[in-house]
Structure 1
Amino acid sequence: MLKNFQQRIQFLSEHPESFIEFGRGIERETLRVNVNGKLSQEPHPAAYGRALTHSSITTDFSESLLEFITPVSKNVNELFNYLEDIHHHVVMNLPKEQYLWPMSMPCYVESEDHVELAQFGTSNIGRMKTTYRQGLKNRYGSMMQIISGVHYNFSLPAAFWDTWGELHNSPLTGQDAQSAGYMGLIRNYLRYGWVIPYLFGASPAICKSFLQGKETKFDFKETGKGTIYLPYATSLRLSDLGYTNSSQSGLNICYNDLDSYLDSVRVALSKKDPKFIEMGIVKNGEYLQLNDNILQIENELYSSIRAKRVQNSDETPSQALKARGIEYIEIRSLDVNPFSKLGITQEQAHFLDLFLTWCASIESPSLSQQEYQLCASNFDDVVIRGRDPELTLSITDKTLDVAGWGEWLNTQLSEMAILLDKNSDKNCYQNAMLHISPRFEKPEDTSSARILDRIINSKGDNGSLAIQLSKEYKTELEQQEYTIWSDDVFAKQKEDSIEEQRNIEAADTLSFPDFLANYFENAKKQ
């Protein structure tokens, strides 16, 4: 049995094929805003085709919240070329004097009524998507619907899973080994994933309008004309202010193996919430929410990481996982990087590859609910005061400050970087560590510290900085050329999306209530 990290590194060094061609995909969200930084009130631009069915450009929770989706790529340069091409096409077709908001937390919003829910057409599935968002609005408010993030989808090559059983002293092979291995990766991400908001969190400040006059438990400081911030915060997006759901704290999701995970999700989907029961489902013929459960659908289960499998059209996420196992994982704790016109850099992607491979390679014991709650507490502490020199984190019976944990992590990740760079002629993983690892000892170099320093020293506002960056990035993106795709490719994607939505709408035979009843009845089957 491989008992320690050095033995695992030695074993993996004898199998270099295990690290060739990671699968990667990026989903980047960004708001459309006007020249004054206010939320656009115009509908999703027709130039982008149909949000329901477009393969690269859609909307997320609000009509003004664009989402860009790259194809899966085995090469980081190619991945970012796809992302740049999408951005170029979008800015070239933005309505006049509109810009892409370069931060996670939203621009100035006059009231929650100014947030238009995303619209997906008249089909049953389109209405369901909008109704789900209506439920989120009624449950948590509209402001939550305009928070942006970056999702990083990642898969290890098949060769890694061929050696996983020996690496972890497990008899499992094939898809069973892959699913078990990804669950182990997820458990370690829950333990150590606080490093992502610590290193890359970039939302320590927000526009005061985000609170809409509501009281908060946080002791905010104020700068400029309307920016509030927490001095040591890394990612207010990931705090109680942002995309979280306190109702889910008692769901007890189990991450110890795929079957237990799916069983716990199934139980969670059937739990009721008194507040949502009181709200009702339909009022005056209009849907207020899809149902009165704690989770309307699986997508409402908030987590910093998700197990994923490409779904067939008639499957729920859990049904796809149950039928064919875990195919990849989705990282959901990345803030939009305001220092990048794409919201993420190649250096970040290389660090994520490295960190996720490490999470899959080291020992990953079962996670009790008590340890899970401790992991969640660590994560919450880091997003609120991750740069506080007094902060300590307890993981697996050891308590250290962030610098101490960083020193330990850097030692292991640096060795892993050398291993991964054996398949590269550019030492991209070691270079990523060279630039990123000092931030554990120098919190002033983290993304959150840099953005906060820029705001405070300019005596300006979060919003004025974002407007400045959005204009700079729009000019840069307009001036660049396509690298992989072309206007013709996007014209084809647009026409395909229009035709596909038309076909979906024409194929509907059920009323919307009957469609929902069938959907939720089918969702119970695994």
Structure 2
Amino acid sequence: MAQSRHALFQQFAASDWDGFLKGVEKEGLRVDAHGFIAQTPHPQALGSALTHPRITTDYSEALLELITPVFNSTGAMLESLRDIHRFVQQNLQDEVFWAASMPCEIDGDASIPIAEYGSSNIGQLKHVYRQGLAVRYGRVMQSIAGVHYNMSLPDSFWQNWQQLLGNTESLRNFKSDQYFWLIRNFRRRSWLLMLLFGTSPALDASFVAGVQHDLARFDDQTWFGEAATSLRMGDLGYHNNAQASLNICFNELGTYTKTLDRAIHTNWPAYEAVGTRRDDGQFIQINTNVLQIENEYYSAVRPKRTAESGEKPIQALDARGVEYIEVRCLDLDPFSPVGITAEQVDFLDLFLLDCLLSDSPRIDDRECERLDDNYKDVVASGRSLSVTLCKAGERVPVGVAATGILDGLQPLAEQLDALQGGETYRKALAVQQAKLAGDEWSVPSARVLHAMRESGLGHRDWVLAMSRQHQQTLRSEALSDETLAEFQSQSAGSLVEQEELEASDPRPFAEFLDAYLKS
């Protein structure tokens, strides 16, 4: 009988183990002193949102996105993220960096400014893509923020792992197959992350103004899901009816990229009726297909490859295979000044490695539907003891299923600690196990509601108070002269780079877009 993958991993020695490679992309809204979404342009002191390597914007001009480099340690990555936050906080003037995933006070679509990236063709492309999102789904949905966690394993690991498995294909293809192996198990277990890390059980009433929903009243300004873990990832958050027909269950790279490519080239009647331009000739979407570009596809996880200049994500994946995994389902932790904690990152590494080491058969259509149902149930009602999940053809209480997975991670946590020394992974696992101890779970979504009740504040005022507290903390932590000078140089250099881009391509945007779509 062949050895299990866990047993094979036991053969790794400390000299073979180089750890994880990791990075974070953290979003957050700029808001005014009263907790209303900022109407001001991206602060010039933060440089160009188009070309700055660390500070950009996502959908809205008010939605900052902070990007760390890749690190091989959790501590170094989080210190980098904290430095970026410190620099941002120093340059927000009277504005506040919103600490929660669900937005501050808004006043419909018109109050949410779409991000601007200047007059270069690539800048206009980014803006038109966001105009398309507004046309298709409305701006309100795009005001939500989250944390994207990027994880990979170094080539030294893959070479050892390939040898242990007796695999003889190219390293590029082997890595891609193994990352999809991991992704299939991630799909099976992603509901657990929503239970352990979901922190958006409540939202400001302005977010659902005029919208039918089944939330309960918290106070005059707040609605909440009585057993919800993450409204951000539920029906009121990221959703897309047109994408429901894609049926992407991530079995292998070839079918994944082909499915996305087909969606980018398949017309969708509702978008066709809108067209790509207004009567005045202004572009309002890149195309009228199911997806404008690959990034429009919403998913809890993505296989990624850094694209070269002018290269599309699908082309990069097809040409050079999967480089890393992007976990996209994480809410901002409103209790953390930087939205994520060391214990969370270390647990994610443990969780993702176990996804790689566990059996991972391909996912058929029936299982795909069951996995989607499990995920939706935990997002909507995961804190209810009566919620059950479908597991191996049986209904299992969510607490039993979660405890089973966590207990099963103990041997791997012990092995990782033995490989690198210390108690990092056992401690990270223990933090998660403690959340499910006893009858009153201390999962973050419950903690958020408890903190709101204890403070006597609704969502808007409680998050604003937390945001101001984090701002005070971060502003009190001065950057070193060297780090401050580096950020200032990056900001100034990014503004110059944007100007150079705007001068380098004189083609009309319509001509540029036509070439882009044909590439």
* Equivalent residue letter for 2:109: E
Shift, 1:73, TM fit: 0.4
| 3-state SS of 1:282 partner | coil
Which residue pairs with 1:462 in the alignment? 459
Which residue pairs with 1:61 in the alignment? 59
Is 1:247 matched with 2:245? no
Which residue pairs with 1:27 in the alignment? 25
Shift, 1:163, TM fit: 3.6
Identical columns (%): 38
Shift, 1:277, TM fit: 1.2
CA 1:436–1:171: 2 relative to 1, 3 Å:
same
| 3-state SS of 2:502 partner | helix
Q: Which moved more, 1:478-487 or 1:23-32?
A: 478-487
Q: Give the alignment of 1:69-468 within 5 angstroms.
A: 69-95=67-93, 97-165=94-162, 170-216=167-213, 219-284=214-279, 285-442=281-438, 444-468=441-465
CA 1:427–1:173: 2 relative to 1, 3 Å:
farther
Kept in 1, the 8 Å contact 2:50–2:117? The answer is: yes
Q: Which moved more, 1:250-259 or 1:292-301?
A: 250-259
| 3-state SS of 2:385 partner | coil
| 3-state SS of 1:233 partner | coil
Deviation digits for residues 181-214 of structure 1 (CA, Å, limit 9, x no counterpart) = 0011111111101111110000000011001312
Shift, 1:474, TM fit: 0.6
Shift, 1:425, TM fit: 3.2
Shift, 1:162, TM fit: 2.1
| 3-state SS of 1:153 partner | strand
Instruction: Supply the distance in 2 between the matched residues of 1:134 and 1:315 (Cα, whole angstroms).
Output: 22
| 3-state SS of 1:287 partner | coil
Between the two proteins, the alignment pairs up a number of residues equal to 516
* Equivalent residue letter for 2:240: N
Kept in 2, the 8 Å contact 1:391–1:402? The answer is: yes
Gaps of 5+ in 1: none
Instruction: Supply the distance in 1 between the matched residues of 2:162 and 2:77 (Cα, whole angstroms).
Output: 30
Shift, 1:421, TM fit: 0.9
Shift, 1:483, TM fit: 6.4
Taking structure 1 as the reference length, the TM-score comes to 0.95
Shift, 1:172, TM fit: 3.4
Which residue pairs with 2:49 in the alignment? 51
Instruction: Supply the distance in 1 between the matched residues of 2:388 and 2:73 (Cα, whole angstroms).
Output: 37
Instruction: Supply the distance in 2 between the matched residues of 1:365 and 1:170 (Cα, whole angstroms).
Output: 18
RMSD: 1.7
Gaps of 5+ in 2: none
Kept in 1, the 8 Å contact 2:202–2:223? The answer is: yes
Shift, 1:173, TM fit: 4.7
CA 1:99–1:39: 2 relative to 1, 3 Å:
same
| 3-state SS of 2:441 partner | helix
Deviation digits for residues 201-252 of structure 1 (CA, Å, limit 9, x no counterpart) = 0000001100131223xx2111222100111100000011112212211112
* Equivalent residue letter for 2:275: G
| 3-state SS of 2:40 partner | coil
Shift, 1:144, TM fit: 1.4
| 3-state SS of 1:263 partner | helix
Instruction: Supply the distance in 2 between the matched residues of 1:261 and 1:395 (Cα, whole angstroms).
Output: 25
Shift, 1:299, TM fit: 0.5
CA 1:170–1:254: 2 relative to 1, 3 Å:
farther
Instruction: Supply the distance in 2 between the matched residues of 1:52 and 1:94 (Cα, whole angstroms).
Output: 19
CA 1:82–1:227: 2 relative to 1, 3 Å:
same
Which residue pairs with 2:37 in the alignment? 39
Shift, 1:171, TM fit: 4.3
Shift, 1:283, TM fit: 1.2
Kept in 2, the 8 Å contact 1:223–1:459? The answer is: no
Shift, 1:170, TM fit: 4.6
Shift, 1:262, TM fit: 1.2
Instruction: Supply the distance in 1 between the matched residues of 2:483 and 2:138 (Cα, whole angstroms).
Output: 39
Shift, 1:254, TM fit: 4.6
CA 1:301–1:324: 2 relative to 1, 3 Å:
same
* Equivalent residue letter for 1:14: Q
Instruction: Supply the distance in 2 between the matched residues of 1:302 and 1:168 (Cα, whole angstroms).
Output: 33
Kept in 1, the 8 Å contact 2:249–2:368? The answer is: no
Shift, 1:264, TM fit: 1.4
Which residue pairs with 2:11 in the alignment? 14
Deviation digits for residues 448-473 of structure 1 (CA, Å, limit 9, x no counterpart) = 01001222344320111111111111
CA 1:18–1:378: 2 relative to 1, 3 Å:
farther
Which residue pairs with 1:480 in the alignment? 477
